[in-house]
Amino acid sequence: MSHRAVSLLSKCSSTLTNAQIRGKAHFTFQPSTTLPAGLQGQETSKMNLMQSVNEAMRIAMETDDSAVLFGEDVAFGGVFRCSLDLQKKFGKERVFNTPLCEQGIAGFGIGVAAAGATAIAEIQFGDYIFPAYDQLVNEAAKFRYRSGNQFDCGKLTVRTTWGAVGHGALYHSQSPEANFTHTPGLKLVVPRGPIQAKGLLLSCIRDPNPCIFFEPKILYRLASEDVPTGDYTIPLGQAETVRQGKDLTLVAWGTQVHVALEAAQLAKEKLNADVEVIDLQTIQPWDEDHVVESVQKTGRLIVTHEAPISSGFGAEIASTVQKRCFLNLESPIERVAGFDTPFPHVHEPFYLPTIHRVFDAIKKSVNY
């Protein structure tokens, strides 16, 4: 462990109680300063991420009579309250609980979608999506291909939680997105805040392909933005530059975008380096051209994600950019990620790719 990390943890421990450390976020949420294209001037309402997800599902069910929502405990609102009042509004035939069986939830969703209805399936925690892995990878992803496009389950969207929560440890803080990127036929999305969550979730629900929508659980109540109240979508497969820069490209998604933004600001203050920050938004298919164009401008790339570094999706981005931008690169591509261990509890501050770990990578890259 670096002296910097030990020093930071020691300083933190001297000023905060154990309870405060346990519940303290390792970043500051950065609200979006602009609305997506075409939404400027629209009426907005202050919403946290939980409320924006609820709003997206309400709109989807109002505009599509075939849409049904199901999962463990969704009838009373779910453990995170994302489906609050939806059964009251749409009835027990459209919003209902399932047995505690992730494989069954995914399998049922595939059947619902294959029959022509719109299925919104909730897996309560992303960490428990693995029992459903066989259904999602061997059935949902291949349904269209193996039938020669005669049948599909493209109206299936699987919602699940994602990422560190501050005290979730090994079974409630994992980031499993890379496990699914090796499977053609699935689309994977991770929003960074309420505005993106609403638009991207509506896009997933209406997309003609099965989608997995990962919701950063720590942002459910921490993140708050002025969200457009109307029906809108944000295109899948498109990244967004959330901070302009000329010296280095920093790519992230979900919660880690906010870590990246803080690290970029620190780099500006300490190193006078202009760091461009890109929110990938859709992990599969990812916006390769957007990232490549940025790296061709800056000559440097860092990818940061919470998931373990080995076989994390950052490796795919690094490989692609190295091939397409080889003659543009001024320093080696760097990945700042979780370590190759189970997600720890008491050692979470050491495990996470924090602002200071990202800043150290920026410093190393610009001084190469």
Cis peptide bond upstream of 208, omega within 30: no
Cα–Cα nearest to 263, from 276, 253, 282: 276
Catalytic residue (choose from 26, 72, 172, 316):
172
Please give the structure tokens belonging to residue 226: 């002025």
Cα–Cα distances in angstroms (integers) from residue 221 to residues 46, 48, 49, 165, 241, in the given order: 12, 6, 6, 11, 24
Cα–Cα nearest to 213, from 223, 203, 224: 203
Please give the structure tokens belonging to residue 248: 């280095």
Task: Let me know if 172 is a catalytic residue.
Answer: yes
Task: Let me know if 345 is a catalytic residue.
Answer: no
Catalytic residue (choose from 55, 72, 102, 177):
102
Q: Would you give the DSSP letter of residue 207?
A: S
Whether the CB-CB separation of 308 and 341 falls below 8 Å is answered with yes
Tell me the Cα Rg of the chain.
Answer: 20
Those residues with Cβ within 8 angstroms of residue 18's Cβ, 6 or more apart along the chain or in another chain = none
Q: How far is CA 116 from the centre of its chain?
A: 28
- DSSP character string of 244-311: --SSEEEEE-TTHHHHHHHHHHHHHHHH---EEEEE--EEES--HHHHHHHHHHHS-EEEEEEEESTT
- DSSP character string of 76-134: GT-TT-TTTTHHHHH-TTTEEE--S-HHHHHHHHHHHHHTT--EEEEES-GGG-GGGHH
Specify the residue for token string 């346990």: 22
Characterize the bridge pairing of strands 282-284 and 187-189.
Answer: antiparallel
Whether the CB-CB separation of 59 and 66 falls below 8 Å is answered with no
Q: Provide the annotated active-site residues.
A: 102, 172
